[in-house]
Structure 1
Amino acid sequence: MKVEIRLFATLRDGRDKVLEMEVEENTTVSKVLDIFKIKQEDVALLLINGRDGKFDASLHEGDYLSLFPPVGGG
């Protein structure tokens, strides 16, 4: 099944901004992070289809996953 992964800020380093990928049915967000070698602690906010998501949530055909790192400033 196809899903879209949208990476923001530092999570884009060395990667594309938007990636379309084939994954197995019911692949979890955690599995996608493993594929991209992104640690859970490096993700401050994750959205599935624009709604709050969880690391153990399963993805479905046509879903889009948005990943945001913690933001600092001052």
Structure 2
Amino acid sequence: MKVTIKLFAHYRIGRFREAVREYAPGTSVRAGIAELRFNEPGPGVILVNGTPAPLDHVLQEGDTVALFPLISGG
């Protein structure tokens, strides 16, 4: 199945802004983004089709996953 992955902020460095990836049916967000090898524990915010989703959310054909890192500042 095809899923669009969108990366934001420093996640784009050395990667991509947006890409369509092919995943097996039943793939979770966690498994789908494992190939991106984030150094930190994982994305701060995950949106699937514009709605917040957990790492264990099972992806569906045509989903769009947006990944945002945790950002701190003051």
Using structure 2 for the length normalisation, give the TM-score: 0.91
Q: Report 1:16-55 matches (<5 A).
A: 16-38=16-38, 41-55=41-55
Aligned length: 74
Identity of aligned residues (%): 35
Aligned AA (2:59): L
Which of the two has greater helix per residue? 1
Q: Residues of 2 paired with 1:39 and 1:50: CA distance? A: 24
- Unpaired runs of 5+ residues, structure 2, are none
- Aligned Cα root-mean-square deviation (Å): 1.3
| 1:7 match | 7
State the SS of the aligned residue for 1:41: coil
Aligned AA (2:43): V
Indicate if the aligned counterparts of 1:33 and 1:40 stay in contact, CA closer than 8 A. no
Using structure 1 for the length normalisation, give the TM-score: 0.91
